[in-house]
Amino acid sequence: MRMTSLRWFVQGAFLLLFLFLFLQTESKGEDTLGYPVRFFLDFDPLVFLSTLLSARVLVPGFLLSLLLVVLTIFLGRVFCGWVCPLGTIHNLTGILNRRKRPVLLPGARRWKYLVLLFLLSSSLFTAQVTGFLDPLCLLIRSLTLFLYPLFQNGLEAVFRAAAEAPVSFLAAPAEAFYTLFQRFLFAFREPHFYQAVFTGLFFGLIVGLNLLERRFWCKYLCPLGALLGLLSRKAVLKRSVGEGCTDCGRCQKACQGAAIGGDPRETIPSECLVCFDCDDLCPVGAVRFGFRGGEKGQALHLGRRAVLLSLFSGALTVPFLRVSPQSRSGLFPGKLIRPPGALDEKDFLAHCVRCGECMKVCLTNGLQPTFLEAGLEGLWTPVLVPSVGYCEYRCTLCGQVCPTGAIRPLKREDRKHVKIGTAFIDPGRCLPYAFGIPCLVCEEVCPTEVKSIWFETVRVIGREGREEPVKRPHVDPALCVGCGICEHYCPVRGEPAIRVVSTGESRSKENRLLL
């Protein structure tokens, strides 16, 4: 078998594994998922490194990422060429591009190192912005928030249209397909996300760059590729060109990285994805890959000015991200309800890589990406929006899938004591208060063992002058955990008559309500 065929096979297998784990990031009713769904993120040394710098902690999966580091030191950027699911997507999209020559000058390969330095410098100054550009975070986020909802809602619309079509022969196959998709490919609850458009555009742009040049992202922009590139400068698995080379230049054009410079005999190890394309392509069989050590790694010339600029702009980004008042201590945006187990806001932002795993796994679709609720620094971090979905009282899945510990994994017993906010009744809208009409849905659905909502029976005088007993709900702020199920099911729609705000969240020492 040719090596490129083997590579395509391996790439496909990893992409399928990645998608399989993505689909498994969903509850089946058990307390745990049963699959290590954040597997790929655990292998990501960039997530490890940036969290180490920004939050000064080791992420839970750091041993696996060290494994990738070791592997890369020996074998080079095999992860990029053989494993990375985003790389494979680039590889596939690149097929559409028939352009032969790279459009950018070889010097552009430096960009990604500058991107990496920029991100790590921000991390060092405690702003965790790596997740925006880390390929795995970017891919999982784009899948969760945009591609998967588009896939499911789009197909459901097609099936619905077929079922309701004026011709009846479409209904049966549509139903059969619907059942099949629902069983194997669709999310249990059709996903809808705020910010889907923006995350989708971002993803589209990055994938679209392949039309400009194949693997544009991997060659010039990817910060993980840059990190792995730095590690592979002395890799022992190397490309070499033998005697027969005719300078035909095919390998230069075909190179998936930007690894072959002006002389086709020379290879830049940090740019080589070990894809074997040049080996298979060489008409005279001069290209070989083999294990050879002992050679001195090539120096990386980024330019002192560019490096300093990256480091400075990375550092300067931190105050820029924090220019909005959300970053001021003592200010707690009410709508900023973080998932149970989330760290205190400052710490949380230092951890969260916005991979979207928590939003994917959320039972009710209630975890949504923020826009500017948490300031620019908090863009696309998870926030509970009870009108979309409440926080299921006994569920701890978001903490289980979080790759950085921004949301701590909670034990079932501890979960009960975690308060993410407090519900407040709006008497101007609540039926018993405003109109003397019975309701108490909030009390019925309240999940705490002793109900956090109690009622007072009041005798009210109606329009006709008759006295009627009415039960009015009250929130017990000592018991309410802020799950938002009351807000979610409140029959007063639009602006519910009971609403949860972050007040009293147990992750914060300051945002307390009671003494």
Partner 1 sequence: MDRRSFIRKMIIAAAAVSCPAAFSPLAASRAEPSPAPDLAVVRGPSPERIVASAVDALGGMRRFVSPGDIVVVKPNMGWDRAPEFGANTHPAVVAALVGLAVEAGAKRVKVFDHTVNDPRRCYRQSGVAAAAEAAGAEVSFVDKRKFKSVRLDGEVLKEWPLYEDILEADKIINVPVAKTHGLSTLTLALKNWMGVMGGGRWRIHQRIHESLVDVARKVKPTLTVLDAVRILTANGPQGGRLEDVKVLDTVIAGTDQVAVDSYGATLFGLRGRDLGYVRIGHETGLGNMNLESLDIRKITL
Q: Give the residue, chosen from 344, 347, 443, 476, that forms a contact with partner 1 under the rule CB under 8 A.
A: 443
Q: Is 293 in the site for partner 1 (CB under 8 A)?
A: no
CA 443, CA 475: separation in Å to the nearest integer?
9
Q: What is the DSSP string of 397-435?
A: HHHHH-SSSSBPPPPHHHHTT----EEEE-TTT-HHHHH
Q: Is 218 or 398 the residue whose CB approaches partner 1 more closely?
A: 398
Does residue number 429 form part of the binding site for partner 1 (CB under 8 A)? Answer: no
Gap between the Cα atoms of 95 and 92, Å rounded: 6
How many angstroms separate the Cα of 181 from the Cα of each of 51, 125, 156, 160, 473? 37, 46, 9, 13, 43
**In whole angstroms, what is the distance from residue 368 CA to residue 381 CA?**
8
| Look-up of token digits 């005719």 | 246
Please pick, from the candidates 1, 28, 168, 509, the single residue that binds partner 1 as defined by CB under 8 A: 28
Q: Which is nearer to partner 1, 147 or 395 (CB)?
A: 395
Residue 82 per-residue DSSP state: I
Quote the CA–CA distance of 249 and 267 in Å, as a whole number: 13
For partner 1, the closer of residues 200 and 436 by Cβ is 436
- Residues 344, 209: Cα–Cα separation, whole Å: 38
Q: How far is the CB of 485 from partner 1 (least distance, A)?
A: 8
Binding status of residue 455 toward partner 1 by CB under 8 A: yes
Range 399-428, binding partner 1 (CB under 8 A): none
Residue among 266, 444, 468, 495 that touches partner 1 (CB under 8 A): 444
What is the rounded distance in angstroms from the CA atom of residue 44 to the CA atom of residue 404? 11
Choice between 21 and 431, CB closer to partner 1: 431
In the complex, the smallest distance separating the C-beta of residue 451 from partner 1, rounded to whole angstroms, is: 5
Task: Give me the residues paired with residue 383 across strands.
Answer: 368
Please, what is the minimum distance in Å from the beta carbon of residue 450 to partner 1?
6
Of residues 11, 364, 396, 503, which one binds partner 1 by CB under 8 A?
364
| Residues from 84 through 143 that contact partner 1 (CB under 8 A) | none
Q: How far is the CB of 506 from partner 1 (least distance, A)?
A: 19
| Inter-CA distances, 484 with 26, 30, 263, 340, 499, Å | 21, 22, 64, 12, 7
Strand segments, DSSP code E, in 155-312 are 237-241, 287-291
- Whole-angstrom distance, CA of residue 372 vs CA of residue 156: 31
Amino acid present at 480 = C
Q: Does 463 bind partner 1 (CB under 8 A)?
A: no
Q: Which of 30, 243, 247, 467: binder of partner 1 (CB under 8 A)?
A: 30
Does 29 help bind partner 1 (rule: CB under 8 A)?
A: yes
**Tokens 């009870």 appear where?**
386
Which residue, 194 or 393, has its beta carbon nearer to partner 1?
393
Determine the interface stretch with partner 1 among 26-34, 140-148, 282-290, 462-470 (rule: CB under 8 A): 26-34
Those residues whose C-beta lies under 8 Å from the C-beta of residue 340, and which sit 6 or more positions away, are 391, 396, 398, 399, 407, 410, 415, 418, 420, 481
Q: Per rule CB under 8 A, is residue 466 in the interface with partner 1? A: no
Is 395 near partner 1 (CB under 8 A)? yes
* 450 touches partner 1 (CB under 8 A): yes
- 495 belongs to the binding site for partner 1 (CB under 8 A): no
x/- letters, 162..191, toward partner 1 (CB under 8 A): --------------------------x---
Stretch binding partner 1 (CB under 8 A), from 262-270, 345-353, 373-381, 392-400: 392-400
- The tokens describing 318, both together, are 């931190």
CB of 504 to partner 1, least distance (A): 21
Backbone angles phi, psi at 460, to 5 degrees: -115, 150
The 10 Å Cβ neighbour count of residue 204 is 13
Among 344, 347, 392, 476, binds partner 1 (CB under 8 A): 392
Q: How far is the CB of 75 from partner 1 (least distance, A)?
A: 42
In angstroms, the CA 233 to CA 271 distance is 9
The residue ranges that bind partner 1 (CB under 8 A) are 27-30, 188, 363-364, 392-395, 431, 437-441, 443-451, 455, 471, 489-491, 493
